Amino acid sequence: MDKIISAEKLSFYYSDYSDDEAAENENSRVQVFDRLDLEIEKGSFTVILGHNGCGKSTLAKHMNAILLPCGGKMYSAGIDTSETDRLFDIRKHIGMVFQNPDNQIVASVVEEDVAFALENMGVPQDEMRERVDSALKAVGMYEYREHSPSQLSGGQKQRVAIAGIIAMMPDCIVLDEPTAMLDPSGRREVMKTIRRLNKEKGITIVLITHYMDEAAQADRVVVMDKGRIILDDIPQEVFSNVEMLRKVGLDVPQATQLMYMMNKDGFKDADVHIIDAEKCADYLYELLK
Amino acid sequence: MLKDITIGQYFPGNSVIHRLDARFKIAITAIYIIMVFSAKSFISLGAAFLFFVIAFLLSGISVKLIIKSMKPIIPVIIFTSVLNIFFIDGVTVFELFGIRISDEGLLTSGYMIIRLVSLICGSSLLTYTTSPIILTDAIEQMLKPLSKLRFPAHELAMMMTIALRFIPTLIEETDKIMSAQKARGAELDSGSFTDRAKALIPILIPLFVSSFRRAEELALAMECRCYNGGEGRTKLKTLVSGGKDYAALSLSLLFLALIMIIDLGRVVL
């Protein structure tokens, strides 16, 4: 399979700029990651999990060249992100959605906001209209195209932000905790939209989150801790490492949690690879019968 | 209380006035303002007001809204008219305890009231019938010729768009911060003027801090969507002008001419 994003021995550190001499000194650098390797396949749905400060947002910002590597290489859509003159090519291919929907909506009418990226790219008017409409339909916000974003709920605003990205027709969308500020129903709406974009449109999704139930819906889960990748597998396998996840300050889905506890209490056939409530319920039903 | 602010409020509709090209609407409003200030008699002021009434009737906007738009300037109107009444010399009409009211004073303050009222009516009709985003577009296009002289027309329009977009967000945020500070015992509505002004500091500081954070995130999000300044940009909607726009513009010019003739006639007579 083709790789849409690949990090090769990626290193990144922040320097303390308050002191020029210190910036030269290696000890004052805050190393975020050191020689990190990661490849994301085209069309996949990857979740990056990690505790606060593990470097997951920093990694996301490397994917569309907001941040540039201090060492190693980052290839996004086949382009080396350090080629600064191809910045807009990268950003057309790799869209990015942030946590707070309020801070990424530019215009005061929904459809104008979705058109923003297309206006910047100089897309002709007829084509723009078409792409705006289809992007709004893809996130289920077409009926709201003439509303003001301030009239919408958090989940709806985040879907508008996503529509603004898919109007660019990117190959990949990187979402940095898009559900962190939403209520449960808003989270469900956004997750449904993301999954549908992945399945129906074949857009590669990289989702950064700290919700385990969202991670359970992915094809692949990458767990990061202190700038390193500690687990990288399908969700079932990742979540079966209950103790390891606990150690880095992460939870597991509730179903896995239950299976894990039963397993420890002597139910040897309780399988910690169960991550969804349905399978968990089936197991309990069989057991109680 | 902050929800009452009606700056740039727009009431969607489908009247002739709503459908006029925004660029023409701005030009016509400018002509109307010239009419109001060049009119030197009650008859010509009446003619200018008649022009507003025609536009108002065509727009389908309710009288209530126009009156509501007047609310914030009532103190200004009262203040200027009182000043004019008492401090302009002329033939005394009325005198009590050494306070004189002259005919000139009454006349000037009468003009002033009518002018201010018509000014506010006319400009609020513009914002009531034009969506802010179209208004900004129109301003951008009208200023575009100036960008050859390095005038930042696109940047200005972009700033206005973002400002309009963030008004409701910041109002909501201010309300939240005010409640949070009240919950911790801040007294915002009592005490002397200086006390109340001081009480605003713990509201403004968090508001500024969060605005800077928002600005940074917004800039990032805009860059992610390939924002690269005004060059080579296309538009989702372009402004189109037609016969009705030229007709409306001619009508306004006609009224302006009429007003000038009326005043000129009076001077000659």
DSSP per position, B145-170: GGGGGT--HHHHHHHHHHHHHHHHHH
- Cα–Cα separations (whole angstroms), residue B220 to A16, A91, A103, A162: 22, 12, 9, 15
Place of tokens 């400009």: B123
What is the reported pTM? Answer: 0.81
Nearest of B190, B186, B166, B169 to residue B178 by alpha carbon: B186
Residue A259, judged by CB atoms within 10 A of its CB (0-12, 13-18, 19+), counts as: buried
Length of chain B: 269
Residue B89, judged by CB atoms within 10 A of its CB (0-12, 13-18, 19+), counts as: exposed
Option in B172, B233, B236 nearest A132 (CB): B236
Asked if B131 is an interface residue toward chain A (Cβ–Cβ < 8 A), one would say yes
Strands A220-225 and A228-233: antiparallel
Confidence check: pLDDT of B1 > 60: no
A89, two tokens: 């090519």
Q: How far apart are CA A236 and CA B221, in angstroms?
A: 34
Query: How many C-beta atoms surround the C-beta of residue B179 within 10 A?
Result: 11
pLDDT at B246: 93
CB contact under 8 A, B236 and A122: no
Task: Tell me the angle at which helices B42-59 and B103-129 cross, rounded to the nearest 10 degrees.
Answer: 20
Please enumerate, as own/partner, the contacts of A129-134 that have beta carbons within 8 Å and a separation of 24 or more: A129/B236, A131/A167, A131/A169, A132/A167, A132/B236
Report the Cα–Cα distance between both ends of chain B, in Å, rounded. Answer: 54
Output the 3-class SS for B214-248.
Answer: HHHHHHHHHHHCCCCCCCCCCCCCCCCCCHHHHHH
Query: Strand runs (DSSP E) across chain A, as ranges?
Result: 3-14, 30-41, 45-50, 71-76, 79-80, 94-97, 172-176, 204-209, 220-225, 228-233
Query: CB of A108 within 8 A of CB of B224?
Result: no
CB contact under 8 A, B223 and A66: yes
- Residue-wise pLDDT for B11-65, tens only, equals 878 888 888 999 999 999 999 999 999 888 888 889 999 999 999 999 888 888 8
Q: How far apart are CA A58 and CA B259, in angstroms?
A: 66
CB contact under 8 A, A115 and B162: no
Nearest of B68, B79, B67 to residue B109 by alpha carbon: B79
Q: Which residues contact B9 (CB under 8 A, 6 or more apart)?
A: B127, B128
pLDDT at A208: 93
Q: How far apart are CA A166 and CA A164, in angstroms?
A: 6
Option in B162, B165, B224 nearest A91 (CB): B224
Q: How far apart are CA B104 and CA B110, in angstroms?
A: 10
Instruction: Please tell me the distance in Å from B128's CA to the nearest CA on chain A.
Output: 16
- Residue-wise pLDDT for B101-130, tens only, equals 777 888 888 888 889 888 888 888 898 888
CB contact under 8 A, A95 and B133: no
Instruction: Please tell me the distance in Å from A250's CA to the nearest CA on chain B.
Output: 27
Q: Closest residue of B to A106, CA-based?
A: B162
pLDDT band at B6 (very low <50, low <70, confident <90, very high): low
Residue spans per domain, chain B? 2-130+240-268, 145-224
Query: CB of A243 within 8 A of CB of A218?
Result: no
Query: CB of A4 within 8 A of CB of A40?
Result: yes
Confidence check: pLDDT of B157 > 80: yes
Option in B168, B225, B234 nearest A128 (CB): B234
Domains detected in chain A: 3-252 (3.40.50.300)
Low-confidence ranges of chain A (pLDDT < 50): none
Option in A106, A125, A132 nearest B161 (CB): A106
Per the prediction, chain B carries an average pLDDT of 85
Residue A289, judged by CB atoms within 10 A of its CB (0-12, 13-18, 19+), counts as: exposed
Question: H-type helices in A4-55, by residue range?
Answer: 20-24
pLDDT at A117: 92
- The helix (H) or strand (E) run that includes residue B94 is strand B92-96
Report the Cα–Cα distance between both ends of chain A, in Å, rounded. Answer: 45
Query: CB of B129 within 8 A of CB of B18?
Result: yes
Residue B88, judged by CB atoms within 10 A of its CB (0-12, 13-18, 19+), counts as: middle
